[in-house]
Chain A
Amino acid sequence: MNRRDFLVRASTLALGGLLPAGCAIAPKTGPSGGSTAGQTVVLIELNGGNDGLNTVVPYADPKYYELRPKLAVAKTDVLRLNDTLGFNPALKALQPVWDKGELAVVLGTGYPQPNRSHFRSIEIWDTGSNSDEFADEGWLARYFALRRLSRPSAAADGVVFGRPYVGPMLGTNARVIVLDDPATFARQAKQVQMPGGVGANPALQHVMRVQAEAKAAGADIEKNLARMNLKTEFPRSGIGGQMRNAARLVASGLDIPVIKVSQGGFDNHSFQRATHDRLLREVAESMTAFRLAMIESGMWDRVLIMTYSEFGRRPAENRSEGTDHGTAAPHFIMAPRIKGGFHGRQPALDDLADGDLKHTVDFRSVYATVLNRWWGVASAPVLGRAHAEIGFLA
């Protein structure tokens, strides 16, 4: 089957009555079509606060080894990327992509007056607000509202795999499909009709009906995705499964601007090292597999992957071989037409604020770059103010 056949088949499958009325589907014309339509961003949320210093390791800085007597990645283990920085070996899978120049690492990403509460800080990241502002809508929900003016035909604004939280896509009019556990959904749908029991509780029935409504489109998508075969193997981890679904969704040709997946477990206050390495490895391997699947389906030039997390962690390890909530951290962006390598500046370990890293790049600069360069929309109206771009996209 050639790519063209694949696309035709994919959109037929996808059209099988799966979308709410009014959501027409715009099959893509293919990468050479020249249109910037259908540029998808795959967000990988690292729940709990990823430890940046053990992700991209400042191996040449003796201060790092002083701060991390037990947790540090040994100099000899680091996958060196330049004279000062290198990957945790758990990120080995990313090395070839880095070498190809398709991976950018934005160093020291954070924001002023950092908040160290999980839920407040992720809210700041999700809404793109200042530390002392409370915003109603996610930054992507605001983008969707603008986007719809010029592209009313998108299948859905966003799809969420994994933990069922829409995060940056939260907004009154955002059409977001949450695909948590399809088996669960089927079971619920059955119980809605069940006489007695739940049936005798009209209010609970209402809640279930609403939940079913919210998921109906999702169940259909899920069904169709299961039929879409990609040869690329994905790691058998939670995030691997989510990225596999994301790959099928993009390969199906549906015009969906944002797909969000998540990897939990980064909040490691004790005995961090083994857990953290495993989480990183799963993320790295899933990202790489996703890229290969995109190449396989001819969609790689339409996709950008980026990671985010509520905060990094304290440079100094704590007394239980873990790390506490911190501030800035590096984030990854993987895409075909990208300026690979490091962007921004690694925060200095001998110039801490209150024991924490000083951020060197505002996270909204990452958003601004993606909005301006990947989607080609002016970022200021979406983010509420202008932010400097970072040069990872031309």
Chain B
Amino acid sequence: MPFHPLSWACLVLLAGVLAPVAAPAMPAADAKHFLLRTGFGAGPDDIAALEKLTHEQAVRRVLDTARQEPFTKLPDLLATRPDWPGQYRNKDDLEKQEFNRTRDREAAALKAWWYGEMIATPSPFTERMVMFWHNHFTSSFDKVRQPDLIYTQQAIFRRNAFGSFRTMLMAVAKDPAMIKYLDNVSNKKGGANENFARELFELFTLGEGNYTEKDIKEAARAFTGWQVNETAGAYFFNARDHDDGAKTVFGRTGKFGGEDIVNIVLDQPKVALYVTAKLWRSLISDTPDPKEVERLASIFRASDYNIRALVEAMLLSPAFLAPANRAVLVKSPVDLLVGTIRMLNMPVSDTAPLVDYGRRLQQDILNPPNVKGWPGGINWVSTYTLIQRRDILGRFLRGEEVNVAAPTGLEAMMAMQAAVDPVMTNRPPAPLRQFGVAGWMKMNPQLAGNPQAISNILLATAPVATVFDGRDPSVMIERILLDPAYQMK
């Protein structure tokens, strides 16, 4: 390596990092920001715990402890495969109807389960990334119609959330839900269906304008014969339908199969830029800084698409903590629902209503509107959805005991608390009657009479419309939740 004055500067800086001088711990505002962006937001305990760490330690810890498997028990329905669709065609209308109803129920249960997982997991960053990849490699239940396959796809995202983008892309290309969603089942020799090849380039790796129509046509031929074995619910290569002739993609020619195309596209430098900019929009701001994106993308590429390396570099980049990038992202409906529950430590015994709320706020999880996913950003908030958001937040705050189904006397409540426990295992069991806002205040006596402190915890930025007039905490919390600033993260 040629000697360069800049290297000295780097060494000096490095020495500074390695020196035994303790790096400063995170201020509370940084901790809150960190938790909002790498999770769904958190209460005073989590913020306090993070304040003991430096920013760098916090980044390492959140990545070191990221789960690859779900924390909560999957719904039973996913254990067995239905006799889909081998017999489906032979059945009469009534049977078909019943069959479809069952699938709808399973999908609803799966969505409710995922909300529960997001609420309960000690690794919310994993779930945030699962959502990111779900919105990147979209597939919808409405088209795929098989909840177990949708879950199989989600498991890919969870396993590889911080792993290798190359491994994930390959797995997604062979994922039965994706093969169905993008019509690769009908991509056959002599009658190519270009849907998957097009989205592979346009949405999954390169972005518009970085490939030609010819690249798509040729690449589509390479994926012919990539099908689903319906009995096993698994990927199946049908050699009879595969076109094994020569293809030319991005200037390279050969008798390529689908795996080759995945590897060829990953040789394109634009891939790292595209994925990095998209992740920036999820973790930092709506306006990626081109220079920083380039720097981060080169780290991503140099690591052979190690997602953890990219995420780590992004969280450690100055842009992540920059004041200009605080509170500039609009909370998605899932952020709003899961975040409110996590921040206020609300016990939830039934997550089914959350599915419905999410849908009303225009984020029907596992059912993105189209292959581009949810438009997101400021599009989440319209006059209609804003009124809905406020209405739903109001429901959360309704009673002294928020969202507790069937509290029937002391014993029943204790029993219910126990039943709720698996969902709340990382928290100490709340004593009786410490539910809802009143309960939250009891658990955080340091906040009593200090609306400013409550606001500092619950809002990503200063409130724009909340008057602190010493009213009782539940009124203050309601005002804070209805403040436009609460829509931000």
Q: Is the CB of B464 within 8 A of A203?
A: no
Q: Is the CB of A118 within 8 A of B328?
A: no
CA distance A17 to B289 in the complex (A): 45
The proximity string for A residues 168-191 relative to B, scoring 1 for CB distances below 8 Å and 0 otherwise, is 001010001010100110011001
Q: Is the CB of A120 within 8 A of B327?
A: no
Of A119, A200, A210, A269, the contact of B383 (CB 8 Å cutoff): A210
Q: Is the CB of A267 within 8 A of B401?
A: yes
For chain B, residues 401 to 444, give those with C-beta under 8 angstroms from any C-beta of chain A.
Answer: 401-410, 413, 433
CA distance A214 to B350 in the complex (A): 32
Q: Is the CB of B464 within 8 A of A116?
A: no
Instruction: List, in ascending order, chain A residues with CB within 8 A of B433's CB.
Output: 269-270
- Residue B282 at the A interface, CB < 8 A? no
B186 to chain A, nearest CB (A): 34
Q: Is the CB of B464 within 8 A of A166?
A: no
CA distance A120 to B400 in the complex (A): 15
- Beyond A203-B329, A207-B386, A214-B383, 16 additional contacts (C-beta under 8 Å) are A48-B399, A116-B407, A118-B398, A119-B398, A134-B356, A165-B395, A170-B387, A178-B387, A203-B377, A204-B327, A204-B484, A207-B484, A268-B400, A269-B401, A355-B408, A356-B408
A260 to chain B, nearest CB (A): 12
Instruction: List, in ascending order, chain A residues with CB within 8 A of B382's CB.
Output: 210
25 A-B Cβ contacts within 8 A?
A: A115-B405, A116-B406, A117-B349, A117-B404, A117-B406, A120-B350, A120-B353, A120-B403, A136-B360, A166-B391, A178-B387, A180-B482, A183-B467, A191-B465, A202-B328, A204-B464, A206-B330, A206-B381, A210-B382, A214-B386, A269-B400, A310-B398, A324-B409, A325-B401, A325-B407
For chain B, residues 207 to 264, give those with C-beta under 8 angstroms from any C-beta of chain A.
Answer: none
Q: Is the CB of B324 within 8 A of A200?
A: yes
- Residue A213 at the B interface, CB < 8 A? yes
Residue of A nearest to B408 (CB): A355
Most chain-B Cβ atoms within 10 A of its Cβ — which of A163, A202, A210? A210
Q: Is the CB of A167 within 8 A of B328?
A: no
A-B contact count (CB 8 A): 146
Residue of A nearest to B348 (CB): A117
Of A165, A198, A310, the contact of B390 (CB 8 Å cutoff): A165
Instruction: List, in ascending order, chain A residues with CB within 8 A of B394's CB.
Output: 163-165
Residue of A nearest to B433 (CB): A269
B90 to chain A, nearest CB (A): 32
Q: Is the CB of B390 within 8 A of A191?
A: no
Q: Is the CB of A355 within 8 A of B402?
A: no
- Residue B363 at the A interface, CB < 8 A? no
Residue of A nearest to B460 (CB): A204
CA distance A123 to B360 in the complex (A): 13
- Residue B488 at the A interface, CB < 8 A? yes
What 6 A-B pairs come out closest when comparing CB atoms?
A: A118-B398, A267-B399, A119-B395, A118-B399, A165-B394, A117-B405
Q: Is the CB of B386 within 8 A of A211?
A: yes
Q: Is the CB of B464 within 8 A of A191?
A: yes
Q: Is the CB of A117 within 8 A of B403?
A: yes
On whether A203 and B330 interact (CB within 8 A), knowing A136-B360, A170-B391, the answer reads: yes
A58 to chain B, nearest CB (A): 21
Instruction: List, in ascending order, chain B residues with CB within 8 A of A123's CB.
Output: 353, 395
Instruction: List, in ascending order, chain B residues with CB within 8 A of A188's CB.
Output: 464-465, 484
Instruction: List, in ascending order, chain B residues with CB within 8 A of A167's CB.
Output: 391
CA distance A200 to B349 in the complex (A): 40
- Residue A371 at the B interface, CB < 8 A? no
- Residue A318 at the B interface, CB < 8 A? yes
Q: Is the CB of A211 within 8 A of B350?
A: no
Q: Is the CB of A172 within 8 A of B482?
A: no
For chain A, residues 253 to 269, give those with C-beta under 8 angstroms from any C-beta of chain B.
Answer: 267-269
Instruction: List, in ascending order, chain A residues with CB within 8 A of B487's CB.
Output: 204, 207
- Residue B72 at the A interface, CB < 8 A? no
Instruction: List, in ascending order, chain B residues with CB within 8 A of A170's CB.
Output: 387-388, 391
Instruction: List, in ascending order, chain B residues with CB within 8 A of A184's CB.
Output: 465, 467
On whether A164 and B353 interact (CB within 8 A), knowing A116-B405, A136-B360, A204-B327, the answer reads: no
Residue of B nearest to A135 (CB): B356
- Residue A291 at the B interface, CB < 8 A? no
Q: Is the CB of B396 within 8 A of A119?
A: yes
- Residue B378 at the A interface, CB < 8 A? yes
Instruction: List, in ascending order, chain A residues with CB within 8 A of B381's CB.
Output: 206-207, 210
Q: Is the CB of B408 within 8 A of A314?
A: yes
CA distance A270 to B442 in the complex (A): 15
The proximity string for B residues 371-388 relative to A, scoring 1 for CB distances below 8 Å and 0 otherwise, is 000000110011110111
Residue of A nearest to B388 (CB): A170
- Residue B202 at the A interface, CB < 8 A? no
CA distance A318 to B401 in the complex (A): 15
CA distance A131 to B168 in the complex (A): 42
- Residue B121 at the A interface, CB < 8 A? no
CA distance A167 to B395 in the complex (A): 9
B401 to chain A, nearest CB (A): 7
Q: Is the CB of A207 within 8 A of B488?
A: yes
- Residue A11 at the B interface, CB < 8 A? no
A278 to chain B, nearest CB (A): 15
B358 to chain A, nearest CB (A): 12
CA distance A204 to B394 in the complex (A): 20
- Residue B461 at the A interface, CB < 8 A? yes
Most chain-B Cβ atoms within 10 A of its Cβ — which of A47, A163, A167, A207? A207
Instruction: List, in ascending order, chain A residues with CB within 8 A of B482's CB.
Output: 164, 180
CA distance A246 to B330 in the complex (A): 34
On whether A118 and B403 interact (CB within 8 A), knowing A134-B356, A203-B329, A214-B383, the answer reads: yes
- Residue A292 at the B interface, CB < 8 A? no
Q: Is the CB of B406 within 8 A of A164?
A: no
CA distance A314 to B484 in the complex (A): 38
Instruction: List, in ascending order, chain B residues with CB within 8 A of A203's CB.
Output: 286, 328-330, 377-378, 488
CA distance A207 to B386 in the complex (A): 8
B369 to chain A, nearest CB (A): 15
- Residue A378 at the B interface, CB < 8 A? no
- Residue B36 at the A interface, CB < 8 A? no
Q: Is the CB of A47 within 8 A of B398?
A: yes
Residue of A nearest to B349 (CB): A117
Most chain-A Cβ atoms within 10 A of its Cβ — which of B286, B328, B390, B410? B390
The proximity string for B residues 462-489 relative to A, scoring 1 for CB distances below 8 Å and 0 otherwise, is 0011010000000000000010110110
CA distance A207 to B399 in the complex (A): 27
Instruction: List, in ascending order, chain B residues with CB within 8 A of A268's CB.
Output: 400
Q: Is the CB of B384 within 8 A of A166?
A: no
- Residue A5 at the B interface, CB < 8 A? no
Of A122, A172, A200, A355, the contact of B398 (CB 8 Å cutoff): A122
Instruction: List, in ascending order, chain B residues with CB within 8 A of A211's CB.
Output: 386, 484
Q: Is the CB of B328 within 8 A of A204?
A: yes
A380 to chain B, nearest CB (A): 24
CA distance A318 to B352 in the complex (A): 29
A117 to chain B, nearest CB (A): 4
- Residue A354 at the B interface, CB < 8 A? yes
Q: Is the CB of B386 within 8 A of A201?
A: no
Instruction: List, in ascending order, chain B residues with CB within 8 A of A115's CB.
Output: 405-406
